[in-house]
A and B are shown apart, each in its own frame.
Chain A
Amino acid sequence: MSYPSEGNLRRAIAFVAALGIGVATYIAVEAAGGDPPACIAGSSGCATVAKSSYSHVAGVNIAVFGIVGYALLLASAFFADDLARFGGFLVALGGFGYSVFLTYLELFKIDAICQWCVGSAVLMTILFLLSATRLIAYAGAEGGPVPDRA
């Protein structure tokens, strides 16, 4: 089976992680200002989700954890060694698993969908697939700068 070059996978991870940082930062900034993120088409889903008790863990808005997770994934894209491959995979796995749980909560407990949360879940799913592909294809390979590995 042929895989994309690790350089391309790292660039894709960096791009999607940067988008994720943008989305999570927007949610966190709006929440810090006391406003829910604005939903498209006037839907109240974002406000309902933001007001729910599930929006915070240990008093910290979960968007903050999202920022940290995306930042770690962005950092993992800058290194071509096993620590970055495996660490990035673990962070993406945790983010993907938590996104699945949050989507379950939105659908079956909160009964509201926040478009920004769905956007973040999609980005985290893409990052999980990219990180898993990177690990499966390149685990154990010698590290090196992107141009040498591509």
Chain B
Amino acid sequence: MSEGDRRKQLLQLAAGAVFLAVAVVLVLIVINATSGGDGGDTKLEGVKEVNRALNGIPQSGMVLGDPKAPVELAEFADLQCPYCKAFTEDVLPPVVENQVKKGEVKVSFRNYTIIGEQSLPAGAAALAAGAQGRGWNFVELFYRNQGAEDSGYADDAFLEAIAKGAGVMDIGRWNRERAKFTADVEATTAEAQQLGFSGTPSLAVEGPQSDGLEPIETPGSTGDLEAALEAAQ
């Protein structure tokens, strides 16, 4: 075979390989785009918005923010509670943007189950998502899709859809582990009661200027919350 023929043959093979590679990548993307990660069969609101809002913020278990942040805001909440949803969506975001992202404050989500019997498995499901680094994605996506209080919507199918939408990668592991987190949900509920809380959301702050975890009045505005966090610094 002449040099020219060999060159022509190699370049033809290369062109075919490029065509094949483009086709394989496109097929892989299409397969992935149409499977999982979006809540499966359950139509969820706000999947992209929640995951984008939390992208880049460290998460460790149910703690959002730098684990070494000097001030901790503990939010005792029930996933089925509409006031908790309002607090997380309306009051908390500026604090996350201005103080959590800067490493000044971390926020821990602690279950305080008071609404109904589905609150316990829902809280455990959130903790199992936290074990895979997607706890806050789970909480915020749950709030975005919250149904009427204690109406029975938070069943296993709903929780799994939230977990998938929140980006929990190993759903099998999440399913296996979530029951074991029930004890942790009960522990934080007991902790809330010991702190004297009687409703949700209830908040406590711990920082250099506070004596352990100190309850604060649930703020009605971001300004009130920022003032309480500043006092603890």
Contact = CB atoms under 8 A, between A and B. Distances in A.
Interface stretch (A7-15, A19-27, A45-53): A45-53
Q: For chain B, which range describes its interface: under 10, 10 to 19, 20 to 34, or 35 or more residues?
A: 20 to 34
A136 B6 CA distance: 12
Q: For chain A, which range describes its interface: under 10, 10 to 19, 20 to 34, or 35 or more residues?
A: 35 or more
B56 interface: yes
B6 A82 contact: yes
Nearest to A94: B21
Interface centre among B51, B52, B169 (most CB of A within 10 A): B169
Contacts of B13: 86
A109 interface: yes
Q: Give the secondary structure class of A's interface.
A: helix
Interface stretch (B29-37, B106-114, B154-162, B204-212): B29-37
A142 B37 contact: no
Nearest to B166: A111
Q: Give the secondary structure class of B's interface.
A: helix
Interface string A20-47: 0000000000000000000000111101
Contacts of A101: 25, 28-29
A82 B190 CA distance: 72
Contacts of A43: 56, 58
A53 B7 CA distance: 42
Interface of B: 3-4, 6-8, 10-11, 13-14, 17-18, 21-22, 24-25, 28-29, 32-33, 37, 51-52, 55-59, 66, 103, 132-133, 167, 169-170
Given A100-B25, A109-B37, A113-B56, 11 more contacts: A44-B57, A45-B55, A45-B56, A48-B133, A97-B24, A98-B25, A108-B33, A111-B167, A140-B4, A140-B7, A140-B8
14 contacts: A42-B58, A42-B66, A43-B58, A44-B58, A44-B59, A45-B56, A51-B132, A52-B169, A82-B10, A105-B32, A139-B6, A139-B7, A139-B14, A140-B7
